[in-house]
Structure 1
Amino acid sequence: MIIDKTASASSGTALDKHNPVPELGNLDLNSQIYSSTYPTPLAPESDAVQQTLCGFEGPEKVFEIWFRPVNGKESPLPDVESVASEDNASVDEIVEDFTPIGKHVYNSTVPNADGEYQLPRTGLRTVSRDVWEEMLGIVKCQVLNVIQNECADAYLLSESSMFVYQHRLILKTCGTTTLLHAVPKIIEIAAEYCGLHEINAVFYSRKAFLFPEKQAWPHGRWGDEVAYLDKILPDTDYETSGYVIGKVNGDHWCLYMATPLRLSLDLDGVELGDSSSSSRDSDGGSSVLEEEDDEGDDDVTLEILMTQLDPAAMKTFWRDAEELKAARDPARAAEVAREGGQRVYRATGISEIYPDAIVDDYLFDPCGYSLNGLVGPHYFTIHVTPEDHCSYASFETTVPVRRSPNSGSATADDYETFEDVIRRVVRIFRPATFSTTLFSRKSARDKHHGSADTATPVDEDEPSLLHSLEGSVPAFRRRDRIGHCLGKWDLLFCHYDRGVPASASPRHKGAKAVVR
């Protein structure tokens, strides 16, 4: 199924405090996704009781933003002399000698004599941890730890993860976090600290919530979230679109996209308008889209969103008696969380997914698990809620298939297809049902496939994303396979279940047969 992005764009209409959803016209078929009343926020003292009685909201909200490089080019190193003077630090403490990276030097994490990592930092990566922590306070989550390599900083959070690249930020939070409240602050930080004033793309997505009524506004109702983002990204400057993909009376996935009008695209991802327009850089004439490709070649993201997990498989994601006892000592709490995380990492087979990755994981008290991993310029992340009545696990990766991230050639540790990745992941978590999303930039794909208006031939043996996930996953039936062409991006959504009768697979308490 091919859907025209421009045909369903949402307008940027101002929100009214007493009527947070703008006038939406004749939308009878989809009116159930919009709330008509302003929800009452949860009282702080009631959060613990509600989550204990109703379960934890595992499905995450995911926000991703791409900024245009300064002057349309890779950002130079910051003025380290001025940064050092402001922070009362030496230049050597800010950044070591910098050599531009033509080919990524993967996973270099050799510390200096003081045990600190000295890695080149530009763009968003120059923002200090305390600034990000202030922003995350708005979201209502905290930083547990940070790992890094030459390409990215990976923040492990009390509620999921954040990944910071030179011109790109991905923030993923679960529970009743208020992620969208922090979007204006993220944009402000990029402008104030990095000189990044222009946005190239914004994405916001989430699976259908298990307990939508527990979310704080604007979360909980998809229409409210779309209207809230349209307020921040008005239609005078951005083309915005909100989608619901999958069954409105079953499992589905929601996606919001925004691109600046200067990057108007047709369905094939080709820029519209005069080539001399503002989408071209004044000092070089190169397209903004081409500039973005230089930073994110082969940008493909796979998500596996799993529910109704096998209780036997989930036992490992609880602290054992020894860990619970050791954690009673406050001085050992962090140590127990780290050691427990490593136990889970090895015992479950998660360590075999990407054996060469830098990983950072954490086992929560009394249960729950989070992991961030870096593989060169790519990341992957795992989050697990193991309680029976609200069990959920998510796996997200940007590591490509069909080639080695390290050498560019096939090895025994590689995955030939994304189905190979999915099979390995579902063997670990053993869900009764799961959905996948595969999201790719067309421009990165067309670099390898060619296009109709170039002399480069299309390799017929190299399938596009919309021809992916056509294989089977053992023991599962694929119920949905929905493809979308979204301007510069392709999206493929699939839903699977184990094929047992409905009476043998009860729905989770709190699941809703409406779009949330």
Structure 2
Amino acid sequence: MAGLNPLVFLDMAVGRRAVGRLKFELFHDMLPITSENFRCLCTGETGLGYWLRPRWYRDTRMSRIIPGVMCQGGDFNFGYGAMGESIYGQRFRDEKFCYKHSKRGVLSMANAGIRHSNNSQFFITFVVACLFAAILDFFRAWHSPVGGAVNFPSMAEPTPFFEGTEKRIEIDFRGEADLRNADPKCWEEVVQLSATQILNCKKTDGFTSFLLSESSLIVYPGKAIIKTCGRTVPLNAVAKILEVAKGQGLELEWMCYSRKNFLAPEEQPHEHQSMETEVDLCKRVFGSVGDAYILGPLTGEHWLFYDALYLPANYLERGDFTIDVMMYDLPKTVQEVFHTTEPEGSRSGAEAMTRNSGLQDVADFLKAEVDDYCFEGCGYSCNMHTGLSYAMVHVTPQDNCSYASFETNFGSTLNHLPSGELQETLNTLLGKVIDAFSPGRLTLTLLLDVGAIPFLGSAPFAAADARYKRRSYTSTKLGQSGAADSGATDYVATIANFDKK
């Protein structure tokens, strides 16, 4: 150990239960820039950062744990691992790689997968690894301090929790301009403000889809849909989306924020931990226009829905609708399909998940092109493109929080009525999706213009009724004033919860 190398520590907790202290020697003699960044983030001495939050590791969660491999943390801005910030700015340059990943229990910077993209995020390895520091001691909260090497075999490597339930924002605009003509960097900023990242982008004649590290962004000429899971904050991006639309000459017509109840609301950013703070945030973001609704039992599976109408429209002449299936308690056999030893982003890994899960059969039924992605260790996302319609699938296969979602507007029409009967097609489609995942329970939501009602019939709920027991059903009619009793029904929001028979 070099005599002048700084020593720092991190106190660790699981939930709110203290479990011990990690003590590090930082290799300042060899990597001074990286070491000083980590030291200052441990003390919090550099004050507020770009997002007006303390540049400090205090109360920062481990955003990712890969059992037997590593744990990652250091995103003090959002806590989810999508963003970080150094004491030198958003990023800083790499230093010389003078240390090898030669042993277990060492500290390394995490970057964005490209050179010179270091920030505040770091990882601690459970296998051979190293970059700029080493753990000297691990003091267990319930034992006397143990000096020397870390006894990593005795350190629990729990299955990480991930909130699969998504937050969803849909914004409709009016005008002849096209959102897709905006500078692509605008959409990068929208995604970054939501605390996620773009993995891939596909353009079709009808829309542009972005596959994100946490779900999806869909951009039509006059509509934007952003759907994000985990600890993301898509409401932070609304102002930027409105700015992009205004720059293209479009007027705001309608906006909606929705999400189903979280599995672990206490793990969400502060503004999403309670319904009161979330609704207050919606009011600020939506300009004090609109109202909040709770569909479904407040003590059970429910849907928070905030709806704001800015320009009236003739919804009798439109057939726009969105179906969302949220599936929980996936069987072990289904979970295993979405685990992989392939590298993150591997084409063969993603294609195997699509094929072996039955989702390729869903895509074939839709005659859709698939843009799919496998994550490191486990997890899957895909966007499907079929004509003017999309479908998106997101899977969190960890046993303690298994979840899958399927959303589509297949068969819907933005500016006119559908051309034919959709009931049989949609029930068949939803049946294929439900059979692919065989969840222990599921929630189905439907948001549709009143003009589409005659074309859907029993769809999509009949597909779930044939396989599961319906536990609850709630539907709300919304009018031009945004109120159900306004005398005019323009669109309908419905939620149904199902358990296995």
TM over 0.5: yes
Q: Counterpart of 1:163?
A: 218
Number of the residue aligned with 2:180? 125
CA shift in 2, pair 1:471/1:164, >3 Å: closer
Name the larger-Rg structure: 2
- Secondary structure (helix, strand or coil) at the match of 1:150 reads coil
**Aligned equivalents of 2:429 and 2:275: distance in 1?**
30
Q: Aligned equivalents of 1:195 and 1:476: distance in 2?
A: 47
User: Which of 360, 370, 393 is 2:381 aligned to?
Assistant: 370
**Structure 1 contact 156–371 (Cα < 8 Å) conserved:** yes
SS at match of 1:47: strand
SS at match of 2:377: coil
Alpha-carbon spacing, 1:340–1:241, altered in 2? closer, same or farther (3 Å):
same
Corresponding pairs, count: 340
The one-letter amino acid of 1:65's match is I
Q: Which amino acid aligns with 2:494?
A: L
Does the Cα contact within 8 Å between 1:41 and 1:217 map onto a contact in 2? no
User: Does 1:383 pair with 2:394?
Assistant: yes
Partner of 2:254: 201
CA distance in 2, matches of 1:153, 1:471: 29
1:350 aligned partner, one-letter code: L
Q: CA deviation at 1:435?
A: 0.5
Contact 1:218 1:225 in 2 (8 A): yes
Corresponding residue for residue 298 of structure 2: 248
In structure 1, distance between residues paired with 2:57 and 2:385: 37
**Paired residues of 1:59 and 1:210 also in contact (CA < 8 A):** yes
Aligned residues of 2:316 and 2:450 also touching (Cα < 8 A): no
Give the aligned partner of residue 60 of structure 1. 166
The residue number in structure 2 matching 1:311 is 332
Q: For the residues of structure 1 that align with 2:337 and 2:423, how far apart are their CA atoms? A: 26
Task: Give the whole-Å Cα distance in 2 for the aligned partners of 1:56 and 1:221.
Answer: 18
Match of 2:498 in 1: 496
Q: Please state how far the C-alpha of 1:220 moved relative to its aligned partner.
A: 2.3
Structure with the higher fraction of residues in strand conformation: 2
Q: Is the 8 A contact 2:159 2:400 kept in 1?
A: no
Task: Map 1:262-301 to 2 at 5 A.
Answer: 262-263=311-312, 289-290=313-314, 297-301=318-322
Matches within 5 A, 1:26-175: 43-44=59-60, 46-48=62-64, 55-69=161-175, 74-75=176-177, 123-175=178-230
Displacement of 1:138 after TM fit?
1.2
Letter in 2 for 1:340: G
Equivalents in 2 of 1:463, 1:357: separation in Å? 21
Instruction: Tell me the CA shift for residue 364 of structure 1.
Output: 0.5
- The one of 284, 293, 297 equivalent to 1:231 is 284
Q: Which residue is equivalent to 2:43?
A: none
Distance 2:62 2:469 in 1: 40
- Kept in 2, the 8 Å contact 1:146–1:156? The answer is yes
Alpha-carbon distance between aligned partners in 1 of 2:216 and 2:390, rounded to the nearest angstrom: 11
Which runs of 5 or more structure 2 residues have no equivalent in the other structure? 1-55, 66-72, 74-79, 81-157, 413-417, 480-489
CA contact (8 A) 1:55 1:389 kept: yes
Alpha-carbon offset, residue 187 of structure 1: 1.1
How far 1:167 sits from its partner (Å)? 0.9
Q: Deviations over 1:135-192 (max 9, x none)?
A: 2111111111111211100100011000000010000001101111111111112113
Displacement of 1:129 in angstroms is 2.2
Q: 1:250 to 1:163 in 2, by over 3 A?
A: same
Check conservation: 2:295, 2:475, Cα contact below 8 A: no
1:349 aligns with 2:358: yes
1:89-115 per-residue CA deviation (whole Å, 9 max, x = no partner) reads: xxxxxxxxxxxxxxxxxxxxxxxxxxx
In 2, Cα distance between the equivalents of 1:344 and 1:463?
A: 31
Aligned residue for 2:94?
none
Per-residue Cα deviation, 1:315-337 (whole angstroms, up to 9, x for no partner): 111114xx2xxx3xxxxx54x2x
Q: What is the distance in 2 between the residues matched to 1:173 and 1:293?
A: 30
Q: Give the letter aligned to residue 437 of structure 1.
A: T
Q: Summarize deviations over 1:279-337 as a string: whole Å, max 9, x none.
A: xxxxxxxxxx24x888xx521111100011111111111114xx2xxx3xxxxx54x2x
- TM-score, normalising length from structure 1? 0.61
Separation in 1, partners of 2:258, 2:373: 24
Inter-partner Cα distance in structure 2 for 1:53 and 1:211: 15
Residues 242, 409 of structure 1: alpha-carbon distance in 2 compared, 3 angstrom cutoff: closer
The answer for the alignment partner of 2:108 in structure 1 is: none
Check the 8 A contact 2:444/2:461 in 1, yes or no: no
Counterpart in the other structure of 1:433: 441
Is the contact between residue 62 and residue 206 of structure 1 (CA under 8 Å) also seen in structure 2?
Answer: yes
Gaps of 5+ in 1: 1-39, 76-122, 264-288, 328-332, 402-406, 450-461, 500-516
Partner SS for 2:192: helix
Greater Cα shift, 138-147 or 241-250: 241-250
Per the normalisation by structure 2, the TM-score is 0.63
**Structure 1 range deviating more: 223-232 or 425-434:** 223-232
Distance 1:424 1:143, change over 3 A: same
Is the alpha carbon distance of 1:41 and 1:444 closer, same or farther for their aligned partners in structure 2, counting shifts above 3 Å? Answer: farther
Which structure shows the higher helix fraction? 1
Matches of 1:468 and 1:344, distance apart in 2? 25
Letter paired with 2:324: E
The Cα offsets for residues 393-432 of structure 1, whole Å up to 9 and x where unpaired, read as 000010028xxxxx9678xxx8715333332111111100
Alpha-carbon distance in structure 2 between the residues aligned to 1:42 and 1:353? 45
**Do 1:206 and 1:254's aligned partners in 2 also have CA atoms closer than 8 Å?**
yes
RMSD: 2.8
Q: Is the 8 A contact 2:331 2:440 kept in 1?
A: yes
Asked which structure has the greater RCO (Cα within 8 Å, sep 6+), the reply is: 1
- SS of equivalent residue, structure 2 residue 337: helix
How many percent of aligned residue pairs carry the same amino acid? 32
Letter in 2 for 1:423: G
Q: Distance in 1 between matches of 2:423 and 2:338?
A: 26
Once the two structures are superposed, the pairs formed by residues 328-477 of structure 1 within 5 Å of their partners are 334=345, 336=346, 338-355=347-364, 356-400=367-411, 416-445=424-453, 469-470=461-462, 473-477=465-469
Q: 1:385 to 1:164 in 2, by over 3 A?
A: same
